Chains A and B, each alone.
Chain A
Amino acid sequence: MDVSQYLEIFLDETKEHLQSLNTQILELEQDSENMDTINEIFRAAHSLKGMAGTMGYKRMQNLTHDMENVFSEVRNGNIKVQPNMIDILFQCLDALEEYTTSIQESADEGTNDNEPLIKALNDILNGNSGDAAPEAKEEAPAAKEAPKAAEAGNDKWKSIKLSDTEKSLYEAAKAEGKKFYGITVNVQESCILKAARAFLVFKALEEHGEIIVSNPSSQDIEDEKFEFDFSVIVVSEDNLDDILASVKNVSEIADAHGAEMTDADFTVSAAEEVKEEVQETKPAEAEVKEEKKAVPAKTEAPKNEKKAVAKPVVNRTVRVDIEKLDSLMNLVSELIIAKNSLVSATNSAENVQKDGYAEHIEYLESVTTSLHESVMKVRMVPIESVVSKFPRMIRDLQKSLGKKMELYMSGEETELDRTVVDEIGDPLMHLLRNAADHGLESAEVRKERGKPEVGSIFLDAYQDGNNVVIEVRDDGNGIDVEKVKNKAIERGTITPEQAANMSSKEIIDLLFLPSFSTAQKISEVSGRGVGLDVVKSKIEALSGEVEVKTKLGEGSTWSVRLPLTLAIIQALMVTVGNEKYAISLGSIQTIENIPANEIQYVQSKEVITLRGSVIPIIRLSDVVETQSVKSPEDNLMVVIVKKGDKLAGIVVDELIGQQEIVIKSMGKYISKCKFISGATILGDGEVALILDANALI
């Protein structure tokens, strides 16, 4: 079976399921009794297994299969969650991740059977089935089958599981007053478009209820891989005759008959499937087995999706290629430029008189703005997808570093452009590892210092104007400026004379230089000197920045500031000399008109006092090396910009107004200029440069 076309979806979904497993198992560790979590885990493991099976990844399937067994026993209450079990489960997830990576790289799952893990899983199962089985016997017949099947091999589990889930569905349906029907539909032999007819039948059935399983699988039916009949199991509230009548209403359907299913049907079908699978496991039929196994796995998959739809917590999503979004985004950009040209045309005198013209333009403006917003939103994803793997990482670090620590996260729902989110994971991981390794002291030292033994690491994300700030904070030792200084001198990074003149902030910034590590001993986690410089360059590549604040003995805070969007922003257009520049509205605090005589000098730098605070001013004409058209006595037009908690005033000649601008890259050729973050095309076709206020401060 050629499944390569599904590979991408498979990988996407597998990653999603693994992530959810990671999170859920962590939760399980905290609260081992939570049935919701256990169910969630079971569902994810089950879907994983089904998907791996469909794709023909046997090793992956085997492993998930055994994991599923364990979860199933936990769910049935036959096994209690124990710490060592959690460890093994995490190892399994790592192994699964390995498979996934290997599949991603080579479309092959590799040859690692992970037998020790499978054995460990089976040990958990067997170790407990001995104790728990006797009591379980009366209350759960499924559990009785479990150990028996486990002895014979892994594969029978699948069929039992299948019937088990079906059965639980069946029982749930019964409780809700719904009924299970088995229906066989015969298609006329003259029928040409069998698949289309079958599709209509499915549609008719879905009007009555839900299709649980079909034979052949829905995929095969779609591909017309069936003779002149197919069977389905439907759960519905309506009575059988109505359902059959609506099926027969579909043209070219010869006949349809069915019956309500009872408990007995399930036991029988389960037993049959077990038998079938037992035969299949014979080694001689290895090839056949794989193909056949794919079928039940596949029928499971749509069923699971159905469940997901019914569950309101799961978001309804569509996967879209990011390239398609980019082209959509480009079109929106063009539209905005076109709109801006219209707006500037309206402003020219001859058009103003025309009735209604301005109104239409305004309408167009509001439409393009909201179109832009919604396209932006499509590209935005919560950072949750990245940060949700961190609790697991901290848990592992805790073991490998032998320190006690706890990660507190907030603002996981903060959204960022998809491209940024994809890149931000590694830098954040570096910062967290850094905090865990360098930041936090060992438990003994913490005790001595009167801190709680368990160290805290905080990951806070929030939106600040047009930026998103992600802070990694720890309550550890903080950065020892003296130590950094000495190290820098020792390494020849700076001379002792230079060091004497450096502010502590400048010294801390040395940490971001390549190959600079102050860790006394090199540990597995950090201390190889790669890290902070990588973090810095990666974040700068995303037009973001990273800052650190620290207090010796109390901890440090690393803040990563990232632009919310990379494409279209609201900006203030200003002129200086005869040139136009754009300043992102997000960084602007206020705009002030200051008399020239209010300028004062501090350390021969120009400052103004505004509402009690002293703000340095920057003359844009100096920065961009042009002549201001204003005379020195004129009032100053000062744009107050903010970066973190620092303010600065940018002196410009005139304000043009607020405008939506499309950020265009200036190409590789001109990238030297630090304070120009890009260019934009104005309504009249002219190019204006965008000032990066953050770089000016």
Chain B
Amino acid sequence: MDELKIGTNSGSVQYIVIKLGDESYGINISYVENITRMVHITRVPKVANYLKGVINLRGEVVPVMSLRLKMGLDEDEYTKNTRVIILKLEQHGTIGIIVDEVKEVVTLEEGQIEKVSADANTEHSNYVVSVGKCDQGLISLLDLNAVLTEQV
């Protein structure tokens, strides 16, 4: 509880650390509604390949996307560590993203966050706005708006 209180102080932000392959990514905790285990996904035809379909989240139908496919990585392999992170963003509504593993929650102070230089122009680096440095190493912090905005 104490940690939570500290986390809400201005200047420090809490991130959920997830793994995609070997890399660690951070998702701002304030957008996270829920984290669930992998459930049956109902495929929806004729949508982008990274949209895996919809799931039943306690009576609500929630679309689910593969973060791997969206970022141009290999197809997901569902293991017992696979999780769906349910995000809620104003302009996108509720949506789930599939990640390989959820590691932990870290609190980053302003000084621990560094902007990523804009010249990195590989496709998926567009989704990473900054990098957090902490004891566990480097964490790429995701720009959720960019991740969730559909590319045509």
Q: Which residues of A come within 8 Å of B, CB atoms? A: 334, 337, 579, 623-626, 664-670, 672-673, 676, 678-681, 685-689
B93 in contact with A668 (CB, 8 Å): yes
21 CB < 8 A contacts A-B: A337-B59, A625-B45, A665-B61, A666-B44, A667-B61, A667-B62, A667-B93, A669-B51, A669-B92, A669-B93, A669-B148, A670-B54, A679-B61, A680-B61, A681-B56, A681-B59, A681-B61, A685-B56, A687-B42, A687-B53, A689-B54
Q: B46 near A: Cβ within 8 Å?
A: yes
Given A579, A668, A673, A679, which contacts B47 in the complex, CB threshold below 8 Å? A673
**Chain B contacts for A689, CB-based, 8 A:** 42, 44, 54
**Chain A contacts for B53, CB-based, 8 A:** 687
Interface size for B (C-beta < 8 A) is 24
Q: B95 near A: Cβ within 8 Å?
A: yes
A664 in contact with B61 (CB, 8 Å): yes
Q: Complex Cα distance A688/B65, Å?
A: 17
A672 in contact with B54 (CB, 8 Å): no
**Chain A contacts for B94, CB-based, 8 A:** 667
Q: Complex Cα distance A689/B61, Å?
A: 10
A667 in contact with B95 (CB, 8 Å): yes
Shortest C-beta distance, B89 to chain A (Å), equals: 10
Q: Complex Cα distance A334/B56, Å?
A: 13
B42 in contact with A676 (CB, 8 Å): no
Known: A668-B93, A669-B93, A686-B40. A625 touches B54 (CB 8 A): no
Given A337, A623, A673, A679, which contacts B42 in the complex, CB threshold below 8 Å? A679
A669 in contact with B95 (CB, 8 Å): yes
Shortest C-beta distance, B113 to chain A (Å), equals: 28
Q: Complex Cα distance A676/B63, Å?
A: 14
Q: Complex Cα distance A664/B40, Å?
A: 17
Q: B55 near A: Cβ within 8 Å?
A: yes
Q: Complex Cα distance A668/B93, Å?
A: 7
B40 in contact with A668 (CB, 8 Å): no
Shortest C-beta distance, A571 to chain B (Å), equals: 15
Shortest C-beta distance, B30 to chain A (Å), equals: 19
Return the CB mask of B26-46 against A: 1 if under 8 Å, else 0.
000000000000001011111
Q: Give residues 59-83 of B contacting A (CB, 8 Å).
A: 59-63, 65
Q: Complex Cα distance A669/B65, Å?
A: 10
**Chain A contacts for B43, CB-based, 8 A:** 579, 626
Q: Quick one: closest A residue to B53, CB to CB?
A: A687
Q: Complex Cα distance A416/B53, Å?
A: 32
Known: A667-B63, A687-B55. A672 touches B47 (CB 8 A): yes
Q: Quick one: closest A residue to B94, CB to CB?
A: A667
**Chain B contacts for A664, CB-based, 8 A:** 60-61
Q: A666-B61, A667-B62, A673-B45 are in contact. List 8 more A-B contacts (CB 8 A).
A: A337-B59, A579-B42, A665-B61, A667-B63, A669-B95, A669-B148, A669-B150, A680-B61
Q: Complex Cα distance A678/B54, Å?
A: 11
Q: Complex Cα distance A669/B94, Å?
A: 8
Known: A669-B92, A670-B51, A670-B54. A688 touches B59 (CB 8 A): no
Q: Quick one: closest B residue to A623, CB to CB?
A: B45
Pairs A-B, 9 closest by C-beta atoms: A624-B45, A687-B42, A664-B61, A679-B61, A669-B63, A667-B93, A670-B63, A668-B93, A687-B56
A676 in contact with B44 (CB, 8 Å): yes
Q: Complex Cα distance A623/B46, Å?
A: 9
Q: Which residues of B come within 8 Å of A, CB atoms? A: 40, 42-47, 51, 53-56, 59-63, 65, 92-95, 148, 150
A673 in contact with B63 (CB, 8 Å): no
A687 in contact with B61 (CB, 8 Å): yes
Q: Complex Cα distance A337/B92, Å?
A: 26
Q: Complex Cα distance A626/B43, Å?
A: 10
Shortest C-beta distance, A687 to chain B (Å), equals: 4
Q: Quick one: closest B residue to A679, CB to CB?
A: B61
**Chain A contacts for B150, CB-based, 8 A:** 669
**Chain B contacts for A680, CB-based, 8 A:** 61
Q: Complex Cα distance A480/B47, Å?
A: 39
**Chain A contacts for B51, CB-based, 8 A:** 669-670
Q: Which of A334, A670, A680, A681 has the most CB of B within 10 A?
A: A670
Q: Which of B45, B95, B150 has the most CB of A within 10 A?
A: B45
Q: Quick one: closest B residue to A667, CB to CB?
A: B93
Shortest C-beta distance, A109 to chain B (Å), equals: 37
Known: A667-B61, A667-B93. A686 touches B44 (CB 8 A): no
Given B46, B54, B148, which contacts A679 in the complex, CB threshold below 8 Å? B54
Shortest C-beta distance, A685 to chain B (Å), equals: 5
Q: Complex Cα distance A252/B42, Å?
A: 70
B45 in contact with A666 (CB, 8 Å): no
Shortest C-beta distance, A629 to chain B (Å), equals: 15
Q: Complex Cα distance A687/B53, Å?
A: 10
Known: A686-B42, A688-B42. A668 touches B92 (CB 8 A): yes
**Chain B contacts for A666, CB-based, 8 A:** 44, 54, 61, 63
Q: Complex Cα distance A672/B59, Å?
A: 22
**Chain B contacts for A688, CB-based, 8 A:** 42
Q: Quick one: closest B residue to A664, CB to CB?
A: B61
Q: Quick one: closest A residue to B39, CB to CB?
A: A685
Shortest C-beta distance, A335 to chain B (Å), equals: 11
A676 in contact with B61 (CB, 8 Å): no
Q: Complex Cα distance A579/B148, Å?
A: 27
A670 in contact with B56 (CB, 8 Å): no
Q: Complex Cα distance A644/B51, Å?
A: 34
Shortest C-beta distance, B135 to chain A (Å), equals: 36
**Chain B contacts for A678, CB-based, 8 A:** 61
Given A334, A625, A667, A669, which contacts B59 in the complex, CB threshold below 8 Å? A334
B61 in contact with A673 (CB, 8 Å): no
Q: Complex Cα distance A676/B45, Å?
A: 9
Shortest C-beta distance, A690 to chain B (Å), equals: 10
Shortest C-beta distance, B64 to chain A (Å), equals: 9
Shortest C-beta distance, B50 to chain A (Å), equals: 11
Q: Complex Cα distance A626/B45, Å?
A: 9
Q: Complex Cα distance A452/B93, Å?
A: 56
**Chain A contacts for B55, CB-based, 8 A:** 687
Shortest C-beta distance, B3 to chain A (Å), equals: 32
Q: Complex Cα distance A680/B60, Å?
A: 9
**Chain A contacts for B59, CB-based, 8 A:** 334, 337, 681
Shortest C-beta distance, A682 to chain B (Å), equals: 9
Shortest C-beta distance, A671 to chain B (Å), equals: 9
Shortest C-beta distance, B91 to chain A (Å), equals: 8
**Chain A contacts for B44, CB-based, 8 A:** 666, 670, 673, 676, 689
**Chain A contacts for B92, CB-based, 8 A:** 668-669
**Chain B contacts for A687, CB-based, 8 A:** 40, 42, 53-56, 61
**Chain B contacts for A665, CB-based, 8 A:** 61
A625 in contact with B61 (CB, 8 Å): no
Shortest C-beta distance, B51 to chain A (Å), equals: 6
A672 in contact with B46 (CB, 8 Å): yes
A673 in contact with B56 (CB, 8 Å): no
Given B45, B46, B56, B95, which contacts A686 in the complex, CB threshold below 8 Å? B56
Shortest C-beta distance, B72 to chain A (Å), equals: 19
Shortest C-beta distance, A634 to chain B (Å), equals: 23
Q: Quick one: closest A residue to B60, CB to CB?
A: A664
Shortest C-beta distance, B18 to chain A (Å), equals: 20
**Chain B contacts for A670, CB-based, 8 A:** 44, 47, 51, 54, 63
**Chain A contacts for B54, CB-based, 8 A:** 666, 670, 679, 687, 689
